């Protein structure tokens, strides 16, 4: 496993920043500084729109995941000065639970995915071993000798 989920990483950066007595914006900037990938660019674009005083609805609607969109909405409230620590704690619990559920679903699908090599490679080889001698005898009896 490479890393934790990007929205969970952002949430933890902001939560850690709040617990240190820093602002929400500093936590978001720390995530952007060390963040990689698609979500970090979305967060960068979202923060730039907020700092320019523009509407962020279009940027938020482009985010497909409900957890990511909710996190950005909560952070937007925090950047406006509202207290969001309790909400972040509850959202973190939900996100961790969603991650565990996704991992459980992937693990449940794994046995079926692992059957593919068995069906493609091992089953035909088993059939050749099983029917090979029978076919040899069958063709030998037709060949006359």
CA angle 113, 116, 120 (to 5 degrees): 170
Residues 6+ apart with CB under 8 A from 45: 59
Give CA–CA dist 79/82, Å, rounded: 7
Domain ranges in the chain? 6-107
pLDDT tens, per residue, the chain with 145 residues: 367 889 999 999 999 999 999 999 999 999 999 878 889 999 999 999 999 988 888 888 888 889 999 999 999 999 988 899 999 999 999 999 999 999 999 999 999 999 898 888 888 888 888 888 888 888 888 875 5
- The pTM (predicted TM-score) of the whole model is 0.75
């Amino acid at each position: 496993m490479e890393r934790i989920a990007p929205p969970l990483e952002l949430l933890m950066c902001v939560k850690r920043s709040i617990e240190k007595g820093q602002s929400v914006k500093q936590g978001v900037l720390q995530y952007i500084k060390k963040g990689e990938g698609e979500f970090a660019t979305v967060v960068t674009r979202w923060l730039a729109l907020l700092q320019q005083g523009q509407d962020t609805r279009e940027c938020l609607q482009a985010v497909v995941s409900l957890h990511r969109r909710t996190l950005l909405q909560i952070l937007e409230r925090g950047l406006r000065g509202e207290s969001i620590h309790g909400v972040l704690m509850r959202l973190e619990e939900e996100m961790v639970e969603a991650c565990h559920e996704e991992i459980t679903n992937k693990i449940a699908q794994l046995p079926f995915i692992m059957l593919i090599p068995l069906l493609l490679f091992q089953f035909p080889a088993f059939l050749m071993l099983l029917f090979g001698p029978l076919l040899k005898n069958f063709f030998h009896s037709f060949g006359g000798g």
